Amino acid sequence: MIKVGIVGGAGYTAGEALRILLNHPQVEIVFVNSTSNAGNKLYDVHEGLFGETEMVFTEELPLDKIDALFICSGHGDSRKFMESHDVPASVKIIDLSTDYRDESDGFVYGLPELNMERIKKANKIANPGCFATAIQLGLLPLAANGLLKSDVHVNAITGSTGAGVKPGATSHFSWRNGNISVYKAFQHQHLKEIGQSMRQLQPGFSHDINFIPVRGNFSRGIFVSTYTECDLELEEAKKIYEDFYKDAAFTFVMDKNPDLKQVVNTNKGIVHLEKHGNKLFIISMVDNLLKGASGQAVHNMNIMFGLDEKCGLNLKSVAF
pLDDT per residue as tens digits for the range 130-177? 999 999 999 999 999 999 999 999 999 999 887 666 667 777 777 788
pLDDT for 170: 77
The 10s digit of each residue's pLDDT in 110-128 is 999 999 999 999 999 999 9
Give the whole-angstrom CA distance, residue 72 versus residue 133.
Answer: 17
CA dist 232 and 235 (Å) reads 8
| Residue with more model confidence, 178 or 250 | 250
The conformation of residue 34, written as its DSSP 8-state character, comes to -
Across 163-302, the runs of DSSP E, i.e. the strands, are 181-182, 209-215, 222-229, 251-253, 269-276, 279-286
Task: Please give the average per-residue pLDDT across 183-189, as a whole number.
Answer: 92
Rounded Cα distance, 214 and 222, in Å: 10
Interior angle at CA 131, CA 4 and CA 275, nearest 5: 130
Contacts of 298 (CB under 8 A, 6+ apart): 17, 20, 21, 24, 267, 312, 313
What pLDDT is stored for residue 167 in this prediction?
Answer: 65
- In the chain, the amino acid numbered 272 is H
pLDDT at residue 107 tops 90? yes
Question: Which pLDDT value is given to residue 174?
Answer: 75
Confirm if 78 and 30 have CB atoms less than 8 A apart. Answer: no
**Residue 19: pLDDT band with limits 50, 70, 90:** very high
Q: Counting runs of H as helices and runs of E as strands, what totals does the chain give?
A: 9, 13
Please compute, for residue 258, the number of CA atoms within 13 A of its CA located in the half-sphere on the CB side. 27
Q: Which domains does the chain have, with CATH numbers?
A: 2-127+293-304 (3.40.50.720), 130-286 (3.30.360.10)
Q: Quick one: 96 exposed, middle or buried, by C-beta within 10 A (0-12, 13-18, 19+)? A: buried
Query: Is 130 assigned a catalytic role?
Result: yes
Share of the chain above pLDDT 90, in %: 90
Does the pLDDT value for residue 51 go beyond 90?
yes
H helices within the chain, ranges in order?
Answer: 12-21, 42-45, 77-84, 112-121, 130-144, 173-176, 191-201, 234-244, 294-304
pLDDT greater than 80 at residue 279: yes
- Please give the pLDDT value at position 238: 98
Partners of residue 245 on adjacent β-strands: none
Task: Work out the average pLDDT over 71-97.
Answer: 94
Beta bridge partners of 284: 224, 271
**R_g of the chain, CA atoms, integer Å:** 19
Nearest partner of 222 among 130, 98, 112, 320, judged by Cα: 130
Share of the chain above pLDDT 70, in %: 98
Backbone angles phi and psi of 160, in degrees to 5: -65, -25
Residue 282 is predicted with a pLDDT of 98
The pLDDT assigned to 318 comes to 82
